[in-house]
């Protein structure tokens, strides 16, 4: 049955499921309506705001039956900035809903309970804030408008305070339009903070502002000017100038000290990172005789963590600054059984895979290439642990590996509370044919 011209009409719907982007999937008869902010089992009168061929989008007009798991959202901009799509849902129930979404994504696999975050507030280690139109804030979802905020509940408290100060000191200054973004990283284990100004023009004098901030926040150990004069969506450019301190900050996790540069990836949730790494170790069944390949190794955190339980680890990473950090990190910790290679893990990996007992994969959201999948199969890699921040691409890649590998349950870790995102880990064991 098809519905036409229902725009602006109000229909009574029941929410039967949640979509991967956190919308309620509501139904009335055959009509499917995606409703922002509606929770599974709720009933509401919904106003249709746009129609597609087989479904519509709607907004809640009047709530009829409210979920017992609904709570008052504690962030005034949650639905504007698009960061926290689940602020109106009790934390424990979010985990259940996210698990249900994963069960739909990983059909045919067992999905374990999500490993929860003990403190789901102020957990992020990194924030990047655009500066535009005399405002600093997050981009409104699907737009270039800035949504300002005073206290983001998932960024670090230091980042919130520094951004409040920067708004006062930087906005409406003559140099304001030279600044595109401000980026703040916080190392939770040491407290150290990195501050970066991403600018259109390096000819900018921020000395008064930097002097003020480093006095007020002694944990700031690195202030960097980064030039990005290209009109693309990529935030960081290639040229850098150090304004204060070192080009890196130091963190410490599980007794391991790590250097972290501006362009290097670091897991956004420090406490969950340690639970994630413990799960990787558990699933790997690592032995002290193993030769491990850690693909997409970033600053080498997984490699260094695993090196303590095994014979040797090689990390592979495409970002030069990250691989330089990884090498320094091995040296700084006196770890001699880990080495690091600057290379593209999506191609020509046969030589690296040959003879490895265990391969750890932790790719970016797009997952791994078909070429790498073929190499894993061709090189007969006996064991793989696959870590993913994108369940859709993990499910796609498992489909291509399942003929040759037995795949364990999916183990989700809540790295991103109050958002729709979930990290997943699974292990694959080569089938004996």
Coil/strand/helix, residue 361? strand
Active site residue 84: no
Closest CB to ligand SAM among residues 163, 415:
415
Question: What contacts 121, CB < 8 A, 6 or more positions away?
Answer: 153, 154
- Beta carbon nearer to ligand SAM, 80 or 421: 421
Give exposure, 46-80, as e/b (b: 16+ Cβ within 10 Å). bbbeebeeeebbbebeeeeeebebbeebebebbbb
Contact 237, 230 (CB under 8 A): yes
- Smallest separation (angstroms) from ligand SAM to the CB of 129: 21
User: Residue 171 or residue 319: which is nearer to ligand SAM going by CB?
Assistant: 319
Least distance (Å) between residue 294 CB and ligand SAM: 7
Q: Which is nearer to ligand SAM, 67 or 310 (CB)?
A: 310
Interface with ligand SAM (CB under 6 A): 265-267, 296-298, 301-302, 316-319, 322, 344-346, 362-364, 389
Task: Give the DSSP letter of residue 118.
Answer: S
Q: Least distance (Å) from ligand SAM to the CB of residue 280?
A: 9
How far is CA 209 from each of CA 175, 176, 212, 241, rounded to the nearest angstrom?
Answer: 12, 12, 5, 16
CA 323 to chain centre: 20
Rounded to a whole number of angstroms, the minimum distance from the CB of residue 347 to ligand SAM is 8
Show contacts of 311-314: CB within 8 Å, 24+ apart: 311/337, 312/337, 312/338, 313/337, 313/338, 313/339, 314/338, 314/339, 314/340, 314/341, 314/352
**Closest Cα partner for 367 from 418, 426, 323, 304?**
426
Q: How far is the CB of 360 from ligand SAM (least distance, A)?
A: 8
The alpha carbon of 194 is separated from its chain's Cα centroid by a whole number of angstroms, namely 19
Closer to ligand SAM by CB, 127 or 345: give it. 345
Q: Which of 81, 117, 389, 424 is catalytic?
A: 389
Which residue's CB is nearer to ligand SAM, number 85 or number 317? 317
Closest approach of ligand SAM to the CB of residue 406, in Å: 24
DSSP class of residue 177 equals G
Q: Report which residue's Cβ sits closest to ligand SAM.
A: 298
Residues with Cβ < 8 Å from 4, sequence gap 6 or more? Answer: 51
Residues forming the active site? 389
């Amino acid at each position: 049955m098809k519905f036409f011209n229902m725009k602006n009409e109000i229909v009574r719907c029941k929410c039967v499921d949640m979509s991967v982007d956190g919308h309620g999937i509501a139904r009335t008869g055959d009509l499917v309506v995606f409703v922002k902010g509606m929770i599974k089992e709720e009933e509401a009168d919904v106003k249709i705001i746009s129609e597609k061929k087989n479904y519509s989008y709607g907004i809640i007009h009047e709530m009829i039956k409210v979920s017992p798991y609904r709570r008052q959202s504690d962030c005034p901009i949650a639905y504007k900035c698009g960061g926290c799509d689940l602020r109106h849902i009790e934390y424990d129930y979010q985990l259940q809903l996210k698990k249900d979404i994963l069960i739909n994504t990983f059909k045919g696999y067992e999905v374990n309970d999500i490993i929860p975050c003990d403190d789901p507030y102020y957990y992020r280690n990194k924030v990047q804030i655009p500066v535009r139109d005399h405002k600093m804030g997050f981009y409104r979802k699907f737009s270039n408008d800035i949504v300002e905020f005073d206290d983001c509940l998932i960024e670090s408290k230091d980042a919130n305070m520094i951004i409040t100060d920067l708004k006062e000191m930087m906005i409406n200054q003559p140099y304001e339009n030279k600044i595109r973004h401000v980026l703040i990283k916080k190392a939770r284990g040491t407290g150290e903070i990195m501050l970066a100004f991403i600018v259109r023009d390096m000819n900018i004098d921020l000395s008064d502002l930097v002097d003020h901030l480093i006095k007020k926040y002694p944990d700031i150990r690195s202030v960097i000017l980064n030039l990005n004069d290209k009109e693309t969506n990529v935030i960081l450019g290639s040229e850098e100038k150090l304004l204060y301190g070192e080009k890196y900050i130091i963190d410490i996790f599980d007794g391991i000290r790590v250097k972290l540069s501006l362009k290097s990836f670091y897991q956004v949730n420090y406490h969950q990172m340690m639970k994630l790494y413990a799960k990787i170790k558990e699933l790997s069944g690592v032995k002290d005789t193993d030769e491990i390949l850690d693909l997409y190794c970033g600053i080498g955190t997984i490699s260094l963590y695993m090196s303590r339980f095994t014979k040797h680890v090689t990390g592979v990473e495409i970002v030069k600054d990250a691989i330089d950090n990884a090498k320094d990190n091995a040296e700084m910790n006196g770890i001699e059984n880990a080495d690091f290679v600057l290379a593209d893990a999506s191609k020509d990996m046969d030589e690296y895979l040959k003879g490895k007992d265990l391969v750890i994969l932790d790719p970016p959201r797009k997952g791994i290439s078909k070429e790498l999948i073929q190499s894993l199969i061709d090189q007969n890699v006996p064991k793989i642990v696959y870590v993913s921040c994108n369940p859709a691409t993990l499910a796609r890649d498992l489909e291509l590996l399942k003929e040759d590998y037995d795949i364990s349950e999916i183990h989700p870790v809540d790295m991103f509370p109050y958002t729709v995102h979930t990290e997943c880990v699974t292990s694959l064991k080569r089938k004996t044919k």
